[in-house]
Amino acid sequence: MYSAKQRKAAIDTFIRFDHSHADTIAELGYPSRAALRMWWKEYEKTGQLPQRRRRELSFGTRQTKTAVACYLKHGKSLSRTRRALGHPKSSAALAKWMDKLAHGRRKMRKTRSAPGVEEKIEAVAALEAGTAVDAGRL
């Protein structure tokens, strides 16, 4: 997503470079050719910079509630729920629905953190001293 300031700079540069998509993109490092073309058409048509559009979810309340119920009933698996229902396309969207409609009931996986500097130093010291090290932690 680009800010209004970035879109204005792109349109101004595009005009300054005689409507050259390639030169504008080379100068700024953004946007894509398609985005620049879309911005320019909007600017030509309305005389104003295009506004950022927010995508609306294409799923109704009924579908989101069905997905949340399926998730809770069948093992609390985001991917399994998506496969069973065919929607939504991303686990992140389903996770948002879960957090909104069934706050606190989503299964969170515990991740193992990487060993800290102190643990690494202790492990190296133990190796040099010839004592045993808990290999499961490293």
| Token code pair at residue 41 | 């058409």
Can you list the residues of the chain whose pLDDT is less than 50?
Answer: 56-57
| Both structure tokens of 112 | 């193992």
Q: Given this model, what pLDDT does residue 13 score?
A: 93
Check residue 54 and give its pLDDT: 54
Instruction: Determine whether 67 is exposed, middle or buried from the number of CB atoms within 10 Å of its CB (0-12, 13-18, 19+).
Output: buried
pLDDT of residue 136: 54
Name the pTM for this structure.
0.39
pLDDT score at 72: 82
User: How long a stretch of residues is the chain?
Assistant: 138
Which amino acid, residue 86? G
- Return the residue matching tokens 């065919």: 86
Q: Is 84 left (phi over 0), alpha (psi -120 to 50) or beta?
A: alpha
pLDDT for position 56:
47
Q: How many CB atoms lie within 10 A of CB 23?
A: 14
